[in-house]
Amino acid sequence: MSIVVVASGKGGTGKTTIATNLAQIAGLLGEHVVYLDCDVEEPNGHLFLRPDMTKNIPVGIPVPKVDDEKCTYCGLCADICQYSAIVCIKDKVLTFPDLCHACGGCTRVCPTDAITEVERTLGVVEEGLSDNIKFIHGILNIGEAMSPPLIRAVRAEGDKEGLQIIDAPPGTSCPVITAINRADFVLLVTEPTPFGLNDLGLAIDTVRQLGLPHAVVVNRSDPDNKIARDFCRERGVDIIAEIPDDRRIAEAYSQGELIIGALPEYKETFIELFENIEELLSTAKVE
């Protein structure tokens, strides 16, 4: 199994465009492909791959529930909680499930077994099939802030063989770290703008801190604009594909169409991108 994560330092760079087209071309080339949309706050890979969904799995975390009849209000539960998800005030214990990280510490330290755990649903994982691609995505409940457990649940459903292509959340925060953890290769998508390159720099620092092999795809690239190439050269990172700033690509995107379907002349671009990734994966595994 190989795990390739498509990530970006900021939203709107074309990360899902690259991930979905890459998954489709890999499938056409005979790979066993699993596409995992871990951008659970706003998943949109399904708009392009259009899977037939066959499974719906609720995902939750255990949070504390206090039995007032057993509680002695000793405050040990509040002392151990690093997120203030449980607070002891005189003769009352307050719980804040939205803050809970499900560590279980409060249940372990309670001397009277007054604390039990109940399930709090965060969202769902849906699975389906798009042609020969296994499709998995997570949908976080509206207003929910705790996305990493749902991202882990999406990743846990991935097959243990073939090629996993993970569409990561944008940015460099905890959800992104959860999505790229234990990846074999990270493909960073950027756009040749000051904002895009600033956030690309943050993403490069993140994957290097984690020791993950990586390279860059420049989306909406202008042949006469050297800003992205100069930036990547200075940071010592390879650009392995450039997608032109082509209005027809934007039109296809707006209609939920894959680039390689709407504009077959771009198939070779994504075949070359896939082959470059395969080569870099082989090199990384040898090292």
Kindly report, residue by residue over 82-103, the tens digit of the pLDDT.
999 999 998 899 999 999 999 9
217/190 Cα distance (integer angstroms): 6
179/167 Cα distance (integer angstroms): 8
180/4 Cα distance (integer angstroms): 9
- Stated as kind and residue range, the H or E segment containing 19 is helix 15-28
pLDDT at 278 over 90: yes
Contact partners, residue 142, CB within 8 Å, separation at least 6: none
Residue 286 pLDDT grade (very low, low, confident, very high; cuts 50, 70, 90): low
Residue 283 pLDDT grade (very low, low, confident, very high; cuts 50, 70, 90): confident
pLDDT at 285 over 80: no
20/199 Cα distance (integer angstroms): 22
pTM above 0.85, yes or no: yes
Instruction: Return mean pLDDT, the chain.
Output: 95
For residue 222, the model assigns a pLDDT of 87
10/121 Cα distance (integer angstroms): 28
CB distance 3 to 183 below 8 Å? yes
**Strand pairing partners for 6?**
167, 187
- 3-state SS class at 3: strand
Q: Summarize the confidence of residues 138-167 as an average pLDDT.
A: 95
205/198 Cα distance (integer angstroms): 11
pLDDT over 70, % of the chain: 99
For residue 287, the model assigns a pLDDT of 63
pLDDT at 47 over 80: yes
Structure tokens given for 35: 């596409």
227/67 Cα distance (integer angstroms): 61
Q: Summarize the confidence of residues 226-244 as an average pLDDT.
A: 96
* Long-range contacts, stretch 74-81, CB < 8 angstroms, 24+ apart: 74/111, 76/109, 76/110, 76/111, 77/105, 77/106, 77/109, 77/110, 77/115, 79/109, 80/105, 80/106, 80/109, 81/105, 81/106
**Strand pairing partners for 130?**
133
Measured in degrees and rounded to the nearest 5, phi and psi for residue 258 equal: -70, 145
List of domains in the chain? 2-59+123-286 (3.40.50.300), 68-113 (3.30.70.20)
Q: Summarize the confidence of residues 135-142 as an average pLDDT.
A: 97
For residue 225, the model assigns a pLDDT of 76
Structure tokens given for 187: 């493909």
Count the neighbouring beta carbons within 10 Å of the beta carbon of residue 268.
11
- 3-state SS class at 204: helix
For residue 244, the model assigns a pLDDT of 95
Q: Summarize the confidence of residues 163-174 as an average pLDDT.
A: 96
